[in-house]
Structure 1
Amino acid sequence: MTPDQVEALFTRADGSYVFARWGRPIVPIVFGVDDATLSVLKGAIEAVVTLANHKMAETDPELGANLMVFFVQDWAELVETSNIDQLIPDLAAVVERLQAAKATQYRAFRFDEAGAIQACFSFVRMDNAMAVLPAETIALSLAVQAILLWSDVAFAEQSPLAVLPGEGATILRPEIAGIIRAAFDPVMPLADRDPSHALRLFARLGGTG
């Protein structure tokens, strides 16, 4: 990867550079799936947390669970679900935007006083295209996109995942794995809004992609 490519992963559509990583252990909870899929999802989250050299825990002292994943058939279900409006400000307006865009995923983050990720609320609408994807693919994608505050357009043109030629197995792209490891280096900040942060990330990639 080049420094510019690293910077683009955290440069939002409005041109601002915004980076944040988790500052506390991750405690996941998943709604709307069967036990088999739940196991796959939690396994993917654990794998990405391990890659980052971060930690998981049984409970979060403030929220109980701080990585909440919701699977729905239709975005309208969110409006009808108790207490979701406490997690997502202006829920009705958000649902309208998601419906208009025919979106299949939505994430909302909360941050602590240091700017680190405090919580992530991830929503997935299982349309026909999503329904045919392997659970492992969906799970890995969700875990990767929740581990850091990526740009809102970071993966608009290229997925963070790749398919191994000849094997068909879905893996995390090596350069994205490298970014995650570098971002959680103890000497790196929990949050940063200066584009020079991307150069520090690049330096920890060894200058290779």
Structure 2
Amino acid sequence: MDPAEVQALFTRASGEFLFARWGRPIVPVVFGVEDATLAIVKGAIEAVVVLAGHRMAETDPELGANLMVFFFRDWAELPEVPNLDRLVPDLAPLCARLAAVGANQYRLFRFDATGAIKAAFVFLRMDEELSAVPADTLALNQAVQVILLWSDRAFADRSALARVRETVILRPEIGALIRAAYDPVLPPVAQDPSHALRLFARTQREEI
């Protein structure tokens, strides 16, 4: 990737550049799947966290779990989840809007006082399209989507994943970018597009 492509991955449709990474250890919890799929999802999250050089933990002192992944069949199910409306403002209207447009996934982030990510919610409506995706591919893709605050247009034209023979892997340049994003020298939050140049420089240094 060149610097412009890196910048585009964090430039929202509104034209605003916004980069953020997690500012605390990630504590995932997964709802609506069997144990075998649960292990796959948590394994994918852990793999991406390790790739980033970030950390996981057993519990978050403020929220208990700070990365919540929900699998379900209908958006109408979510407002029925006890206490979820306390964590996700305007949950019922949000689900109604998503149902109206036929959405099958949605991600919501919460941020701490500095702007770093402190929690994320992943909602996956298992329609025919998502149900056809292998569990490991779906899990890896979602793990990548929540490790950073990507643009709302990121990966719209090209997936973060690639297929090598029968195996689906993270595109190497995206993996390098994730590692660069968690360089402790860099700030956890940036709104200046010049931050993309710093990210790009670190991906190039990694390739040398």
TM bucket by the smaller chain?
over 0.9
C-alpha separation in 2, matches of 1:90 and 1:157: 30
Specify the alignment match of 1:175 in structure 2.
173
Q: Is 2:107 the counterpart of 1:107?
A: yes
Specify the alignment match of 1:138 in structure 2.
138
Specify the alignment match of 1:205 in structure 2.
203
Q: Conserved in 2, the CA contact under 8 Å of 1:87 and 1:121?
A: no
Specify the alignment match of 1:153 in structure 2.
153
Deviation at 1:197, TM superposition (A): 0.5
**Greater displacement, 49-58 / 100-109:** 100-109
Instruction: Give structure 1 regions of 4+ aligned residues with deviation exceeding 4 angstroms.
Output: none
C-alpha separation in 1, matches of 2:88 and 2:8: 27
C-alpha separation in 2, matches of 1:88 and 1:158: 29
C-alpha separation in 2, matches of 1:14 and 1:69: 27
Specify the alignment match of 1:19 in structure 2.
19
Percent identical residues: 65
Q: Conserved in 2, the CA contact under 8 Å of 1:116 and 1:191?
A: yes
C-alpha separation in 2, matches of 1:88 and 1:14: 23
Q: What are the equivalent positions in structure 2 for 1:9-158 lying under 5 Å apart? A: 9-158=9-158
Query: What's the CA shift string for 1:167-194, capped at 9, x where partnerless?
Result: 2211001111011000000101110111
For structure 2, list consecutive stretches of 5 or more residues without a partner in the other structure: none
C-alpha separation in 2, matches of 1:26 and 1:82: 22
Query: What's the CA shift string for 1:34-71, capped at 9, x where partnerless?
Result: 00000000100000000000110000000010111001
Deviation at 1:3, TM superposition (A): 0.6
Aligned partner letter, 2:188: L
Deviation at 1:93, TM superposition (A): 2.2
Specify the alignment match of 2:5 in structure 1.
5
Specify the alignment match of 2:190 in structure 1.
192
Deviation at 1:100, TM superposition (A): 2.3
Deviation at 1:157, TM superposition (A): 1.3
Q: Conserved in 2, the CA contact under 8 Å of 1:70 and 1:123?
A: yes
C-alpha separation in 2, matches of 1:62 and 1:84: 16
Size of the alignment, in residue pairs? Answer: 206
- Structure 1 counterpart SS, 2:166: coil
For structure 1, list consecutive stretches of 5 or more residues without a partner in the other structure: none
- Structure 1 counterpart SS, 2:23: coil
Aligned partner letter, 1:12: R
C-alpha separation in 1, matches of 2:89 and 2:156: 24
Query: What's the CA shift string for 1:114-158, capped at 9, x where partnerless?
Result: 111000011101001111111000100110001000001101111
TM-score, length-scaled by structure 1: 0.96
Q: CA RMSD in A?
A: 1.1
C-alpha separation in 2, matches of 1:63 and 1:169: 36
